[in-house]
Structure 1
Amino acid sequence: MESMESFAELRRRQAGAFSREQAIAHGITDKTMEGRCRARQLQRVHSGVYADFTGPLLWDTRMWAAWLSCGPGAALTGATALRANGVGGDRDDRIHVAVPHSRRVGGRSGVVVSRHRDLPSLVHSAREPPALRLEPALLIAATAEKDVSRRAAVLFDACRQRRTTPARLLAELDLLPMLPGRRVLQRILAEAAEGVQSFLEQTYLCRVERAHGLPRARRQVRASDGGSVVYRDSEYTPYGVIVELDGRAGHADPISRWRDMTRDNAAVTTGKVTLCFGYQIVGEPCLAASQVAAPLHLHGWPNHPHPCSPSCPLPPA
């Protein structure tokens, strides 16, 4: 009875998934499992791995079953490791599992298996099931994204949520010399270290500010607004010009709209100018540059923006 109760607890902890080896260790024979599968009391998920219920599999059950099927030394990786630890969304519903480089594991439905050298050094062993530590998981998940903006979003989001820092990610990146796309990740993390926290902020930095020779703004500037703390996306401190970026077409709730208006009005009362941009800067970065340059000139910026390309409408400086 005690053995059966411990097996029930094991299955509960593993979201209903269990391996053939675990069942046999608790006195359940192959014949018994085959009979329960025929009676639709169990279902086979992968070779040698079962779930103690029938019907659709929950994500947690699929995660445990994939890990159990990959054998000793396996660990959740990439997007799956992030999701298991409450980071990231559910864009990729496949289960990503890493195994030691010395092992080869065959294909499994809905499972992506990768091989890693020095895998134990990347794993947070206290997790159940074992999963990569946050920093290597973020870097691996980012490099798996085909679109550069999505790679940036994975890293920016984690830093904005204060789950990690650009410095920690850069240090981890140095330990992964074989990771594809390292140079792109280094550039993204360098921008994150400057205070960039979103794809829109990255676009503004690269395609508006740098491309047109605008002065360098300070990012995520902490300010006080009637006793509340606010953060300015970009502030040209010597010239009293603030740039706020919002990727949404508009805030859906009145509280958010009021908060943003209060923030911008507070800047005006101190003599500062606030310019607001959305996703139009992706298609019209040159227009945005000219609009930012105008108040910079009015507030003492001695230089001029320069064209970013032969087709740029800005006149040569």
Structure 2
Amino acid sequence: MEERSENRGDSFAELRWRQAGAFSRAQALAQGITDKVLLGRRRARQLQRVHRGVYVDFTGPLPWETRMWAAWLACGPEAALTGPTALRMYGLAGNWRDERIHLAVPHARRVELRSGVVVTRHRHLSSLVQASREPPTVRLEVALLVTAAADEDVSRRAAVLFDACRQRRTTPDRLLAELGSLPELPGRRILRRILDEAAEGVQSFLEQAYLRRVERAHGLPRARRQVRAVDAGAIVYRDSEYSPYGVIVELDGQAGHLDSASRWRDMTRDNAAATSGKLTLRFGYQLVSEPCRAASQVAAALQFRGWRGTPHACSPTCPLAP
């Protein structure tokens, strides 16, 4: 491009490199590049316009990172990455299928609708942003809560929050504290209930289903979650353990239990528990559709080990009904 000096050209090239090839008209003008030069470069197919006043210094398909920078430049310096876009930038493991760019802007701002860009408005946005990141991005906990709240499926809301805690990227306490900074977030009551369960040690949708539909619904004793134990020198965690009765409940979802190494590790863990006199019951996703059957088996094991309580029916059709 035609710049006024070699140093300014170098700095502009560096800027474009940091922004994955994207730049704004204002940035170009600051480097002495006129609208006439930009138009000529467009006609020569040496750059392309993505949004009004935003260009990239190459032609052809735009990578996701370039689209992200272009969207942020189009919405102005007060904007911040949010939702799934922010989670992707934080490198959070997950299947973030939403290819749209999610941006937050101050509540008083009105921005032009742009293809492939989702804009939400927040009061006191500056207090939610980790400004040291480039481009500015809302804090990880804010991005998680915004992403979870936007999903209509409650199980997927829970999965977003449980997965982040299981990856040790955040904690239920930090998420609960951040929830207080988002008073207008939809579904706060449901999110708080999910986070309260995460604070109890629930780390997956299956563990949540067991807690709600098996244990609580049928009046079983309260188990300890994610109990740390040592097996042959290795640290393991038991999903649910009824410590006074020596009964362990392990929940096998699809992730992490499909390969032979994982199955062998689970067998070794169960065998170690058995040699210490503990009884292990194992359930998969069938407990979601048959929670009453799972409850009757857990109750029988607990009563065999000395529990003097009696499970109660969750409904008139429950097989545990008198």
Q: In the alignment, what sits opposite 2:162? A: 156
Deviations 1:148-200 (A, max 9, x none): 00110111111111111111111111121111110000100000000000011
Q: In the alignment, what sits opposite 1:78? A: 83
Measured in 2, the distance between the counterparts of 1:291 and 1:66 equals 55
C-alpha deviation, 1:252, in angstroms: 3.4
TM-score of the aligned structures, taking structure 1 as reference length = 0.97
Measured in 1, the distance between the counterparts of 2:257 and 2:126 equals 45
2:134 alignment partner AA: E
Measured in 1, the distance between the counterparts of 2:142 and 2:189 equals 16
For 1:126-137, list aligned pairs within 5 A.
126-137=132-143
C-alpha deviation, 1:210, in angstroms: 0.3
For 1:22-171, list aligned pairs within 5 A.
22-87=27-92, 88-171=94-177
Please, what is the CA RMSD of the aligned residues? 1.2
TM-score of the aligned structures, taking structure 2 as reference length = 0.96
Q: Is the CA contact 2:256–2:262 (under 8 Å) kept in the aligned structure 1?
A: no
- Compared CA separation, residues 210 and 11, structure 1 to 2 (3 A): same
Measured in 2, the distance between the counterparts of 1:86 and 1:60 equals 13
Measured in 2, the distance between the counterparts of 1:129 and 1:36 equals 26
C-alpha deviation, 1:249, in angstroms: 8.2
Measured in 2, the distance between the counterparts of 1:123 and 1:53 equals 31
Measured in 2, the distance between the counterparts of 1:314 and 1:188 equals 27
Matched, 1:279 2:285: yes
Matched, 1:173 2:176: no
Q: In the alignment, what sits opposite 1:255? A: 261
Deviations 1:226-256 (A, max 9, x none): 1000000000111111111111188333221
For 1:145-294, list aligned pairs within 5 A.
145-248=151-254, 251-294=257-300
- Compared CA separation, residues 249 and 63, structure 1 to 2 (3 A): closer
Measured in 2, the distance between the counterparts of 1:112 and 1:140 equals 13
Any unmatched runs of 5+ in structure 1? none
Measured in 1, the distance between the counterparts of 2:152 and 2:45 equals 41
Measured in 2, the distance between the counterparts of 1:148 and 1:161 equals 20
Identity %: 75
Q: In the alignment, what sits opposite 1:300? A: 306
Measured in 1, the distance between the counterparts of 2:103 and 2:214 equals 40
Measured in 2, the distance between the counterparts of 1:250 and 1:286 equals 26
Measured in 2, the distance between the counterparts of 1:177 and 1:168 equals 16
1:72 alignment partner AA: P
2:265 alignment partner AA: R
